[in-house]
Homo-oligomer: A and B are copies of this chain.
Amino acid sequence: MAIGDAVFGGDRRPIISGPCSVEPDYVRHAEAAAAAGADVLRGCVFKPRSGPDRFQGMGAEGIPLLGQARARTGLPIIAEPLDGDDVRLLRDHVDGFLIGARSMRNSRLLESVGRTGMPIILKRSFAATYAEWLGAADYIRATGNDDVILCERGIRTFVTETRNTLDVAAVPVLASRTDLPVIIDPSHAAGRREWVLPLALAGAAVGAAGIIVESHPVPEQSWTDSCQALSTPELRDLIEKVGRLNSLNELSST
């Protein structure tokens, strides 16, 4: 399974990165992520938020930036749609779709992205069981599209220091239940940049097929999720260290 040239489930773990949301300076942000070694760009112009007063993303006017970033970096790009209209707007400008945690249970959206035939990264919802998560994947697969990558991004527990609790066991448990690759999102699990690297390493060691991580040239100026974005040097460091675990890839196979 691949997004552009980035193969998930192979010898190395692709890194998906970029800012939480597309901002006017997105092309420069994408170049920074590419220079740090990212394999796939995240370019989200529609943002699901917890209230209407928050920044909802640049919307359709951000879409041209996706093509520019792709052209400048040569990297594939993924974006998150919130409904079928977004899917139609985005499909000619991206290499794959990201379904966020808030949308995992939106069966109409799952069917809509599924029908594009493009690769889909499906994040686990806040309190989704493995069965519910696989059921959501089934909505996509029922359209004939098996290019689904599952993404563990932390579950909601009583712990408040981290934004969510990264359920690393999801990787080996799902390996026994599905043929779909599972990647890890340490950014939304940690919620704070200083904990992103160790969680990424835990994800790599447990056998995740890739990492999706938020980065921004000037994290504290990030329009959204500024607490958890890595700076460009931090991203480069993470990519280098995760890469050193690639050689230990066989570790987690018993």
Q: Which residues of A contact B (CB under 8 A)?
A: 48-53, 56, 82-84, 102-103, 105-109, 125-132, 134-136, 138-139, 142, 155-162, 165-169, 171-173, 176, 189-190, 194-195, 197-199, 201-207, 234, 237, 241, 244-245, 248, 251-252, 254
Contacts and interface: CB of A to CB of B under 8 A. Distances in A.
Contacts of A125: 126
- Which of A83, A136, A138, A142: most chain B CB closer than 10 A? A83
Copies in the complex: 4
A125 B142 CA distance: 25
Which of A52, A53, A136, A204 has the most chain B CB within a 10 Å cutoff? A52
Contact of A190 (B132, B155, B169): B169
A106 B128 CA distance: 16
Contact of A169 (B129, B189, B234): B189
A173 B207 CA distance: 22
A244 B248 contact: yes
B165 A167 contact: yes
